[in-house]
Every structure is written in C-alpha cells, then in structure tokens.
Amino acid sequence: MSHGEYIPLAERKSLREKQIKKHNIANILTHWFNAGAGALLVLTGLGILFSPRLGIVPDLWLEFTRNVFGGTANLIQFHYTVGLIWIAVLTFNILIGFRKYFIPFARNRMLLDKDDIEWLKVKPLQMLGYAKDKGLPPQDAYNAGQKIYSYVVVIGAVLIGFTGLIVTFHKFVPWPWLIQWALPVHFGAMGMIIAGWIIHVYMGAVFPEEKEAFFSMFTGKVSALYARLHHSKWYWRYIAEEVEWEENILEEGRQLQKESAAAD
C-alpha cells in the first residue's frame, strides 16, 4: 500500500530500529482493563437476555451463564458488580487524567481536519479496491477512522454507564418508563460499540500492516518507521519536540559555559 513517501533503505533501517513512545502506562492499563471488563460485561449481559420475544441469544448461552453463576439473580448481580467497577475505574482515570492527558491532545485526537476528511474519502475507496494509486493524506496519532470511532465509543460508553446505573439502582427510580427505556438504549449502545470493535480487533490484532499498533498496546512503543508512514503528522511533531528539547539542552550547556567563563 502506498504511503506516499519514499525513504532510502539506510534511513529506513535506522528508523525501524528506533522506538518512539506512543502510549503511557496509564493508557495501556486502562485499555486492557477496559478490554477485560468489556468482555465480561458483554458475555454476561447477553446471557441475561432470556426473553424469547427478543430472541437474539441462543438458549445454550442463556442456560450456560445461569449454570455458571447459579441462577438469574447471581448472573445479574455479577453484571452489576463488574459494571460498577468499570464505571468507578474509568471515572477515576478520567478525573485524574483528563487535564494532563486528554485536554492537551484533544485537538489531535478527536477533531477532524481537512486531511482527515480527505482520508475518509480515499480510504473506503481503497478498501473496495479503487483509487489504489492515490496517496493517503498524512494522519495524526489517530487516523480519521479511529477518530470517528472514538465518538461512537465515548457516546456509547456514557449511555451504557448511565442506563446501567438506572437499572442497577432501579429501587430508587420512581419511573418504570425510565427503566423500560434504559434497557434498549443500553443494548443499542453496546451494539454500536461492538460493530466498530470488530474492526478495531481485526485492524489491531490480525491485519498484518498494523501489527505494530497491536504490540504498542503492551510495550507502549512503535517504530519510528511505522509512525512516519502511518501517523506522519504526529511523527513530525514528535521529532520537532525532540529537536526543540535537544536545542534547549544545548542552550543550557552554552549558558553554563558562558557563566563559568565569566566567573574565571
């Protein structure tokens, strides 16, 4: 696939060796916590949906989950408990991390710029086998597809969290209609996220070109080559910051030299 840039072999080799940091440890832990809690919640959540009128979960799974947990009430209790832990941990992480890790990068992570719009036009065509010769516009740390999906996840997670709380604390909800509507909204938001999640897992863990993205969710690092070809805007900003840092250090050194020369 064309990434619109030719890099000479020698440079390519050195770029492959060089690792640059994409995710900090907080992000990595939150990601895998989310994955684990999500898996438990989706599997037990589907197990709850017994009504034959809904008819989307095979009887086998409905029986199996009830057998594992010892009945409907225990299954639901487990779902509540994991859900509450999920909400608590995410809320805590957002509260402590929002200003430091999200606000400064929100523009690059969530807002769509001109290049992103162009990417959204070209990428689907390329996936269908057209416009192969057209280069993809440069992307930031997250590409336009990821940015769009992030909206689905954020809106979906908020809906799932709130509707989940309504059902968990149904005792304190005086309006049955609110509980009645919480259920399909909870389900619909889950479906919305799962639809994108299938692509997320395929791209992240199976699709060979994005292999580095997968390993970066463990090590936090990607190779400079991958960063430059897939997320060039982010890469060049990273390099600019590195150069600026180096210059600052050099400037500091020169300043010290001057001072000690003056002292002599």
Partner 1 sequence: MATKKRYGFVIDVERCIDCRACLVACRAENNVEIPFTRIWVMDLGLKGGFPDLSQTYVPYNCMHCEEPPCVEVCTSAATYKDEETGLVLIDQEACIGCGLCVEACPYDVRYLDPKRGVVDKCNACAQRVEVGREPACVSTCLGHSRLFGDLNDPESEVSQALREARSVQRLVTDDVDPGPNIYYINGDVLEPAMLPREPRYTAAETFWRKLAIPAVVAGVGLSFLGQATFFIKQLLEGEKEFEE
- Point out which residues bind partner 1 (CB under 8 A): 16, 48-54, 56, 62, 66, 71-73, 75-77, 127, 167, 170-174, 176-177, 179-181, 183-184, 187-188, 190-192, 194-196, 198-199, 202, 206-212, 223, 225-226
Give least dist CB 52 to partner 1, A.
Answer: 6
Q: Give the number of C-alpha atoms closer than 13 A to the C-alpha of residue 54, restricted to the C-beta side.
A: 15
Give least dist CB 144 to partner 1, A.
Answer: 17
Give least dist CB 166 to partner 1, A.
Answer: 9
Give least dist CB 24 to partner 1, A.
Answer: 23
Q: In angstroms, rounded to a whole number, what is the distance separating the alpha carbons of residues 28 and 102?
A: 14
Residues in the chain: 264
Helices (H), ranges, the chain: 9-17, 25-48, 59-69, 72-97, 106-110, 114-127, 144-168, 176-201, 211-219, 224-230, 232-263
Any residues with CB less than 8 A from the CB of 34 and at least 6 apart, and which?
86, 90
User: Closest CB to partner 1 among 137 and 156?
Assistant: 156
Helices and strands: H and E segment counts in the chain: 11, 2
User: Closest CB to partner 1 among 99 and 171?
Assistant: 171
User: Closest CB to partner 1 among 39 and 199?
Assistant: 199
Place of tokens 């001109």: 114
Could you write out the three-class secondary structure of 77-128?
HHHHHHHHHHHHHHHHHHHHHHHHHHHHHHHHHHCCCHHHHHHHHHHHHHHC
Tokens of residue 2, six digits: 């064309």
Give least dist CB 26 to partner 1, A.
Answer: 27
Q: Report the candidate in 152, 146, 111, 136 with the shortest Cα–Cα distance to residue 229.
A: 136
- Type of residue numbered 174: P
Number of C-beta neighbours around residue 41 at 10 A: 19
Give least dist CB 73 to partner 1, A.
Answer: 4
User: Closest CB to partner 1 among 97 and 196?
Assistant: 196
Q: Report the candidate in 204, 213, 21, 27 with the shortest Cα–Cα distance to residue 102.
A: 27
User: Closest CB to partner 1 among 1 and 261?
Assistant: 1
Give least dist CB 6 to partner 1, A.
Answer: 14
User: Closest CB to partner 1 among 7 and 26?
Assistant: 7
Q: In angstroms, rounded to a whole number, what is the distance separating the alpha carbons of residues 247 and 51?
A: 66
User: Closest CB to partner 1 among 100 and 121?
Assistant: 121
